[in-house]
Chains A and B, each alone.
Chain A
């Protein structure tokens, strides 16, 4: 697996793929989808697909691919090696969603939540397989959100393909297990060799599992918190763990789509209290001078002091 396209710029989403086996363009194929790194506050989320001809399903089973979570790292690497070598009939593709992509999606003005991002990534990968000429007939997916709805959505987008969405699909269907191994291996490698774009000097790489409840991860997050910038792009800013730490330890940053309320905001926005309309004619007290709209439209003010 050549990760260099992603490592060149790890702030964006990146697709890696194997060669498409010729047999997959001729015969009916099945495809499995799984993801790795959904929960951690650190590092990317990786989506993987694996596909092979329906007729070769049994062969895949005999190669003992299993749910990636039941395997050690060494076993996973080993199995990925096997999958990659079986390139005469097994193909794979990965979408690495950088932590920066996740942060900016979830925190943008119109929120794009993780489920929607996951669904769209999965759909994108299936489309990639179709566009590459893979004769897809069956798709197996580990669910994100309610399985039934997800299945309906996918069936609707890909008519003519038999879509099966199941929780724990990675232990039920070998092709999903294979996809999960590809995704997990890619994530492990990316996290281990993360190139920090920021100038941090020698970064401590012992950040634990990257899950919010891991004490090592928490300690690392505390150590690398910058009061102005927050975190390196390795951290998912949209995770509440990161947000809570920034709220308490970093400088407050205000955006114009922050939800604020209370009197002060109202005053800042120039809103008048309802009561002011009922008071005795407040005309005389107010400053009579009204700045011309040439200036107010351009947000220009005179100053009395610097």
Chain B
């Protein structure tokens, strides 16, 4: 197609195509509706979109499937972004963890509602309303009770154990879902003769660690790696070959190869070059009805209409 088409800038949509668990829209036990909220992403430290179910009971993360050249036909309308949103359950502890870890540097026991506060993301205090939050704080913090009040302090050791469990459970899930964790790309339609059992346990561990790292800070990710006793992979930069520059020397320059044999009589001239595979396929193309390149440069003659 010769015509150039301009891509219009994305117009804001007021509707989305979403895949979500039933529990997201279960509102009968509460008067508030489920809502999208912006919270601090523990891995990137920037804003990410999450969803809290009715009454802030449950936390969900929002991921978008996005690929070029997709659109939706929804009922009688067209939606230009072919995005598919997934709203999937998420452990709120991942989002609470950075606040505890930061407060833990002071080494003091504090009430958790004082710790989980963020000027940029005021919604973060709602995380504590999630049913799982307060009970699971034990996994990442030590607890002290003073009368009716509870105080918490971040524990690195506990966190590592908790994260290790997460990795191990992820490994189980990866195996169950038959997800390829080895190096390189595997197509789902490509059938391997070799069984998958040659995947080392380390591949699974590494893959699971990578997945969990999407939900924790970089520092924690590194700490977890050593906790799992996985050596850091050497970066490919170090294995780059040495530069090939030749050293200058005072010695007279000599040819690296003996070219004189080209002059000798027994050097038979090669037969005319064979066509490459690409040239061959090109020559096989059906050229009927196509114009020659030259015809575009000669004065125009109006083709007779049939």
Residues B49 and A303 in contact, CB atoms below 8 Å apart: yes
What is the size, in residues, of chain B's interface with A at 8 Å between Cβ atoms?
Answer: 43
Docked complex: B39-57 residues within 8 A CB-CB of A: 41, 43-44, 46-49
Segment among A25-33, A144-152, A187-195 that sits at the interface with chain B: A144-152
Segment among B61-69, B157-165, B260-268 that sits at the interface with chain A: B61-69
Contact (A149, B288) CB under 8 Å given A288-B218, A295-B63, A300-B64 = yes
A85 at interface by CB-CB < 8 Å: no
Kindly state the separation between the CA atoms of A244 and B207 in the bound complex, as whole angstroms. Answer: 51
Residues B218 and A292 in contact, CB atoms below 8 Å apart: no
| Contact bitstring B1-35, A, C-beta under 8 A = 1, else 0 | 10111111000010010000000000000000000
Residues A304 and B49 in contact, CB atoms below 8 Å apart: yes
Residues B44 and A289 in contact, CB atoms below 8 Å apart: yes
What is the size, in residues, of chain A's interface with B at 8 Å between Cβ atoms?
Answer: 42
| Contact bitstring B228-247, A, C-beta under 8 A = 1, else 0 | 00000000000000000000
Q: Looking at the complex, which one of B8, B43, B214, B288 makes contact with A252 (CB distance below 8 Å)?
A: B8
B299 at interface by CB-CB < 8 Å: no
| Contact bitstring B150-183, A, C-beta under 8 A = 1, else 0 | 0000000000000000000000000000010000
Kindly state the separation between the CA atoms of A291 and B41 in the bound complex, as whole angstroms. Answer: 13
Residues B68 and A39 in contact, CB atoms below 8 Å apart: no
Main secondary structure of the interface of A (DSSP, over half): loop
Residues B64 and A303 in contact, CB atoms below 8 Å apart: yes
Residues of chain B with a CB closer than 8 A to A149's CB: 288
Contact (A113, B289) CB under 8 Å given A295-B63, A301-B63, A302-B41 = yes
A268 CB to nearest B CB, Å = 7
Residues A292 and B213 in contact, CB atoms below 8 Å apart: yes
Residues B64 and A301 in contact, CB atoms below 8 Å apart: yes
Main secondary structure of the interface of B (DSSP, over half): loop
| Contact bitstring A231-273, B, C-beta under 8 A = 1, else 0 | 0000000000001100100001111101110001000100000
Docked complex: A104-134 residues within 8 A CB-CB of B: 113, 115-116, 119
Contact (A38, B306) CB under 8 Å given A116-B286, A294-B211 = yes
Contact (A258, B5) CB under 8 Å given A38-B306, A302-B48, A304-B49 = yes
Residues B63 and A302 in contact, CB atoms below 8 Å apart: yes
Contacts A243-B1, A293-B210, A305-B38 given; 16 further ones with Cβ under 8 A? A39-B305, A115-B289, A116-B288, A252-B8, A254-B7, A289-B44, A289-B218, A292-B213, A294-B211, A301-B63, A301-B66, A302-B44, A302-B64, A303-B49, A304-B49, A305-B49
The 7 closest A-B pairs by CB, nearest first: A115-B289, A252-B5, A303-B49, A256-B69, A145-B288, A145-B289, A292-B210
Sample of 27 A–B contacts (CB below 8 Å): A38-B306, A39-B306, A115-B289, A243-B1, A244-B3, A252-B5, A254-B7, A288-B218, A289-B43, A289-B44, A292-B211, A292-B214, A294-B210, A295-B63, A297-B185, A300-B63, A300-B66, A302-B44, A302-B49, A302-B63, A304-B38, A304-B46, A304-B47, A304-B49, A305-B47, A306-B16, A306-B49
